[in-house]
Chains A and B, each alone.
Chain A
């Protein structure tokens, strides 16, 4: 919960700017979206997956104000790490390095090294801009299993079921490989196959 006043407002603005700057790819960039497999270097993989909110955000439930609102609207920031670490407190700027920026309900195709990594949790802005800053957090503790030599892996659809208070009532890993594979082939052709490697609990 956040109290605000004079100097506090300045500090809040500074904190927001630091975070927004970081998310604007100045520091700790997000994993890049991949448009062509030829962009991948040796030892790199494209990770394919999707995040869904159930029920989805309804109009007005997320309030993003400001010029770069599209950078945050309907988007979940998935915090990742090559080492298994539990997210025990509010993430700091450094925690957002290597994040996956997943548009809710859309398949993402992001560049990754071909080492396994972990999804520590997700963050969604509920209110952002002006004097408002409200975030919702989503559980992680999931392992992305990548094998050396993988060119593309499908990790599944993470479904976060929530209520009107943004309490997470259930989270599921759904195998929607056929749809993802069809999108993969349409986007990248048939030269490489998409290996199914659904997310698993980290421990």
Chain B
């Protein structure tokens, strides 16, 4: 019984870890229709950092439109996305004093809208969180502003260096090829 409990905890932990990497409908990392989508958010001016993030598939229609993003110090990515239309959906994070926060992106006028027709590597951009002033009875709001750094190449290097799964997959060669193009 004790072992079963640990097994359950173990499975939950595995599930959570998998969720942190880049979750969503199950796909093989070497599926040739996959795209790598990534970006960066500077949350220095936000109440918290980002510990989890999701991107939503807006086309084609799906019963499971939300895809988790791997998150690491502002970098976010998913290496399993099939062709379709996507935009960032939500970031969340927590801080000791700030508590749990969710940052929801709009469904209309979302700067991160991306249409993937051909599988490949797609850089959404590097952004900085900006608080938007609102009235006391209005919802809190934020905006994201494009920034120049980190660059696409900086982030691709981080993805490559930071994930053994990526290193041992077909992405390794594709990322290196893209880095060579960016030089």
Q: Which residues of A contact B (CB under 8 A)?
A: 1-6, 8, 11-12, 14-15, 18, 58-61, 126-127, 131-137, 164-167
Contact = CB atoms under 8 A, between A and B. Distances in A.
A11 B136 contact: yes
Given A1-B143, A15-B137, 16 more contacts: A1-B104, A2-B140, A3-B101, A3-B140, A4-B102, A4-B103, A4-B139, A12-B140, A15-B138, A131-B102, A133-B139, A135-B108, A136-B107, A165-B113, A166-B107, A166-B108
B42 to A, nearest CB: 15
Given A5-B101, A164-B58, A165-B113, A134 B106 contact: yes
B137 A14 contact: yes
A2 B7 CA distance: 38
A8 B103 CA distance: 12
Interface size class of B (residues with CB under 8 A): 20 to 34
B108 A4 contact: no
20 contacts: A1-B143, A3-B47, A3-B102, A3-B103, A3-B141, A4-B102, A4-B103, A4-B140, A5-B47, A11-B136, A11-B137, A11-B138, A15-B137, A15-B138, A134-B104, A136-B108, A165-B85, A165-B113, A166-B107, A167-B108
A134 to B, nearest CB: 5
Interface string B91-110: 00000001111111111111
Query: 5 tightest A-B contacts by CB?
Result: A166-B108, A164-B59, A136-B108, A165-B113, A164-B58
Interface of B: 46-47, 58-59, 61, 85, 87, 98-110, 113, 136-144
A18 B137 contact: yes
Contacts of A14: 137
Contacts of B109: 166-167
B108 A165 contact: yes
A136 B106 CA distance: 9
B107 A2 contact: no
Contact of A165 (B58, B100, B143): B58
A58 B60 CA distance: 11
A5 B99 contact: yes
A7 to B, nearest CB: 9
Contacts of B59: 164
Nearest to B130: A1
Contact of B87 (A133, A137, A165): A165
